[in-house]
Amino acid sequence: MPTSRFVTRLNEQVGNELAAHNQYLACAIHYDAMTMPQMAAHFYAQALEERSHALMMVQYLLDTGAEVAIPAIEAPVSSFADVVAPVELAWEQEKRVTAQINELLVIAREESDFASEQFLQWFVKEQVEEVASMADLLAVVRRNAAALESIEEYVAREGGTPGDDPSAPRAAGG
């Protein structure tokens, strides 16, 4: 059973993941309104991935007999100045989530909570991929801010939708 300190922090992280879901949804809607279907689809998929991360954490809490307490979340930023701003925000968000996951790992180690530490390893790996892919997308969007078709072609070519990872933790409701 995870310690109360870890459970409290993991419940907070569930809220962070749901906030990320809402933020990516707002980014997707921005690109949809700009008639950029590839970018919109990419961010709609990212939103679902963040929701899935939250549900993986919920399932872990359920599996370990810990209390699940979904926290309130703030409204996302939903107005953006240009095509670059949502990706900049997403990149910063991924770096912030990486720090949050690392903080959870520190707590698990300090509490000698080996099961929770093992559970978090998938998220550590996932965040490396998320930060790198968002950094790449940001570079492309900055370079092609005046050529929206080039951004759309890049996202289409890179295949912006995540696939199923058999090593991923099980998600609640899945």
DSSP string, 99-144: HHHHHHHHHHHHTT-HHHHHHHHHHHHHHHHHHHHHHHHHHHHHHT
pTM (two decimals): 0.93
Rounded Cα distance between 108 and 118, Å, is 9
pLDDT band at 96 (very low <50, low <70, confident <90, very high): very high
- What are 114's two structure tokens? 């080996």
Pairwise CA distance, residues 121 & 167, whole Å: 10
CATH code of the domain occupying 4-158: 1.20.1260.10
Residue 80 contacts by C-beta under 8 Å, 6 or more apart in sequence?
Answer: 27, 30, 86, 89
**Residue 29: which region, alpha, beta or left (left: phi > 0; alpha: psi -120 to 50)?**
alpha
* Domain spans in the chain, listed from the N-terminal domain onward: 4-158
d(CA 122, CA 124) in angstroms, rounded, equals: 5
Residue 34 has pLDDT above 80, yes or no: yes
Q: What's the pLDDT at 53?
A: 97
Residue 162 pLDDT: 55
